[in-house]
Chains A and B, each alone.
Chain A
Amino acid sequence: AQSVSQHNHHVILSEAASLELGCNYSYGGTVNLFWYVQYPGQHLQLLLKYFSGDPLVKGIKGFEAEFIKSKFSFNLRKPSVQWSDTAEYFCAVNDHSWGKLQFGAGTQVVVTP
């Protein structure tokens, strides 16, 4: 069965600090990988996705993620965070054949001014 593991449940950092959120998945076949973000009071929004090709994926708002197949990882990064990046971040995976997503437990990120 698929599973998604996010390493940190809570992260607190200052503005301008760099952010890296870990995500590992367990699945034997071909997968698509996603990072979703949920800002306070808002719905889940897609940050970025990996389907195939270049393993370094760039998303919205300066975020990027790197797919490392050998490590079953898809870590999210941002070189310099802003207060507005305070949100909950979810890593998700789906089978290459259709859209049902398996989510990690999420990481709550708080950026202090």
Chain B
Amino acid sequence: DTGVSQNPRHKITKRGQNVTFRCDPISEHNRLYWYRQTLGQGPEFLTYFQNEAQLEKSRLLSDRFSAERPKGSFSTLEIQRTEQGDSAMYLCASSLASGGPTNEKLFFGSGTQLSVL
């Protein structure tokens, strides 16, 4: 499968624990996005990377959240001291930004469903 891969698919954790999700983008895609989706809502932007540089973070991304893309390939999203309100589907998307921004299309992974008990 050459699409965007996310692991794990499901994560159940107790409040206060730390969790880490991984995203493997489509090979050679230089941009990587993290989104969060709660029930009945569309995906909400969290942060994005151009290669290894994190270029924007949403106000939704509190200081308990940290994302990295150390070598410009896969990315991790860590949530420290999880809260029940963190329960959501965390989506990763990648794109190849070339030839101008109007050509950019995002390809999404299947997401990691986080449940905080």
List chain A positions with a Cβ less than 8 A from chain B: 4, 9, 32, 36, 42-46, 49, 51-52, 90, 92, 96-106
Contact = CB atoms under 8 A, between A and B. Distances in A.
A46 B43 contact: no
Q: In the complex, which range does the number of interface residues on chain B fall in?
A: 20 to 34
B82 to A, nearest CB: 24
B105 A46 contact: yes
B42 A106 contact: yes
Contacts of A99: 31, 33, 48, 95, 97, 101, 104-106
11 contacts: A9-B40, A43-B109, A51-B102, A51-B103, A90-B43, A98-B101, A100-B45, A100-B56, A101-B43, A104-B42, A106-B40
Given A103-B44, A104-B42, A52 B102 contact: yes
Nearest to A88: B42
B62 interface: no
A3 B104 CA distance: 20
Contacts of A104: 42
A71 to B, nearest CB: 21
Interface in B36-66: 40-45, 48, 56
B111 A43 contact: yes
Contacts of A46: 105-107
B110 interface: yes
B16 interface: no
A96 B101 contact: yes
A105 B56 contact: no
B108 interface: yes
Nearest to B56: A100
Contact of B106 (A97, A101, A105): A101
Given A52-B102, A99-B104, A99-B106, 19 more contacts: A9-B40, A36-B108, A42-B110, A43-B3, A43-B4, A43-B108, A43-B109, A43-B110, A46-B105, A46-B106, A99-B33, A99-B97, A100-B45, A100-B48, A100-B56, A103-B43, A103-B44, A104-B42, A105-B40
